[in-house]
Structure 1
Amino acid sequence: MTLAAAKVCVFDAYGTLFDIGGIARSVQGELGDKAETLLRVWRRRQLELSWLPLRAGVAADFWRVTDEALEFAMETLRLDDRGLRHRLMEGWLRPELYPEVIQSLSRLREMGCRTAILSNGTVRMLEAGAAGLRAHLDAVLSAQSVQRFKPDPLVYQLAATHFGVTPESVCFVSANAWDVSGAAAFGFQVVWINRDNVSPEKLPLGTKATVANLAELPVILGG
């Protein structure tokens, strides 16, 4: 099977469709250069917490993980502002889209591709963030429904089960190297969005194709 034969396209959300850099830009006026540093520490801690084994009796709640990571980041940068913390968290409910997202998803649908988001975000986070994309998506799938976080195979299985297809029939798209590797290990055909222009020798394990942004995806899929 080639990428051109894949008729289901599944996308990670944060960093792939949603530009979380907008959260830092929204507070740059009050934090200056600290805004980007805060987001970088926050995002890293958020992912680290999501990769830890879940404690007994603790739900896989990405909103909680995000809040705990923000607390860590703000303490690291010695920021103590409850109003700022609230605004930063709310940014995850109103993420900016990368500029090519809507046109690219629309083109994929014209080509007959079924499309979905598959993310660690909670149902509430994803429903809010993807509100403007629903006309271009067949499904919004949250890891919350299986009480696991990616890269657990149970999360990737959500997409295969929803569409009733084998993993190799799915083109999975992510800007996160760890997600690319996890999805490829599950059996998806994975496209890595290299938005940061990382050197080619640092390709994530299992990458079938690399694009700079989503505008290139329809061509790879035969459009």
Structure 2
Amino acid sequence: MMANPLNVFAQASDEGPEVLSAQIKPAQEPLGEALKPRILVFDVNETMLDLNALRPQFERVFGSGAALDEWFSLLLQYAMVVALTDAYSDFGTVGRATLEMLADSKGIRLSVEDKNRIMQGILALPPHPDMLESLKRLRTAGFRMVTLTNSSPIAVNTQLQNAGLADYFEESISVDAIHRFKPDLQVYRSAAAHLGAKPSELLLIAAHAWDVFGAMQAGWHAAFVARHGKPLFPLARKPDIVAPDMKGMADALLQ
């Protein structure tokens, strides 16, 4: 979300840029000319890459594909825990640890091979079918595009290369440089400073309500890809755009 894909470290400034308040329009309205973002910032996992490709592995190891959803929820939860408690580990390390937690909770003994297959599978996730054409349309329209992800720099570079998406992004920004995870506001502030942009010039595109919420709290515009009918957080302001898939997202941005 991400093109020099090897230059992936966001530089954390000592003092983040001032958070500018952004007038968020209702999701049903197209972006007005005054609110057209200068840079589109894409989340990666689930937003662009299809995590469901791992479901057969979880079916094989845990006896149920639903274990994938349990694991990813644990991963997000403990990523935030290690960041909040200043005990940061990279996303892959937390992912492996929470995979072991899930297995322990179900009385399953994971082999090293099982763990490696799942973790390596994350690096080879396919793009959602709507991604390539949508990115082509947005690039042709002249948008600058970068990614902002909780994954490590090496991991996200590998993911985008394997998915055939790397060439669409001028840069990939990882949280590793500041040892915080989205939706910590410091992540969005650091990314804005790194890009030399005002928060109001950035639009996050994500399939996670918590990511969209964090970006808006940092003064960014935001667009929610409601894949599989996922809901928004009711206590948050509505993002600029809500679309069921990336084609709908591109349609709204290109109006």
The answer to whether 1:17 aligns with 2:48 is: yes
Alignment match, 1:222: 254
SS at the partner of 1:9?
Answer: strand
8 A contact 1:172–1:183 mirrored in 2 = yes
8 A contact 2:62–2:108 mirrored in 1 = no
The answer to whether 1:108 aligns with 2:138 is: yes
RMSD across aligned positions (CA): 2.2
SS at the partner of 2:240?
Answer: strand
Instruction: Give the paired residue count.
Output: 220
Alignment match, 1:7: 38
Give 2:37's aligned amino acid: A
Q: Quick check: which one's strand share is greater? A: 1
SS at the partner of 1:141?
Answer: strand
Q: Give the C-alpha shift of residue 31 in structure 1.
A: 4.6
SS at the partner of 2:222?
Answer: strand
Cα distance, 1:45–1:32 mapped onto 2, change above 3 Å = closer
The unaligned stretches of length 5 or more in structure 1 are none
Give 2:53's aligned amino acid: G
User: What TM-score do the two structures reach when normalised by structure 2?
Assistant: 0.79
Give 1:19's aligned amino acid: D
Alignment match, 1:86: 116
Cα distance, 1:76–1:32 mapped onto 2, change above 3 Å = closer
| d(CA) in 1 for partners of 2:99, 2:243 | 30
The answer to whether 1:174 aligns with 2:206 is: yes
After superposing the two structures, state which structure 1 stretch, 182-191 or 206-215, moved more: 206-215
Alignment match, 2:127: 97
Q: 1:1-223 maps to which residues of 2 (within 5 A)? A: 2=31, 5-26=36-57, 28=59, 30-31=60-61, 34=64, 36-54=65-83, 55-56=85-86, 58-82=87-111, 83-131=113-161, 132-198=164-230, 202=234, 204-223=236-255
Q: Give the C-alpha shift of residue 196 in structure 1.
A: 2.0
Q: Quick check: which one's helix share is greater? A: 1
- RCO greater where, 1 or 2, for CA within 8 Å and sep 6 or more? 2
| d(CA) in 2 for partners of 1:7, 1:181 | 20
Give 2:168's aligned amino acid: H
SS at the partner of 2:136?
Answer: helix
| d(CA) in 2 for partners of 1:203, 1:192 | 15
User: What TM-score do the two structures reach when normalised by structure 1?
Assistant: 0.89
Percent same amino acid at aligned positions?
24
SS at the partner of 2:241?
Answer: strand
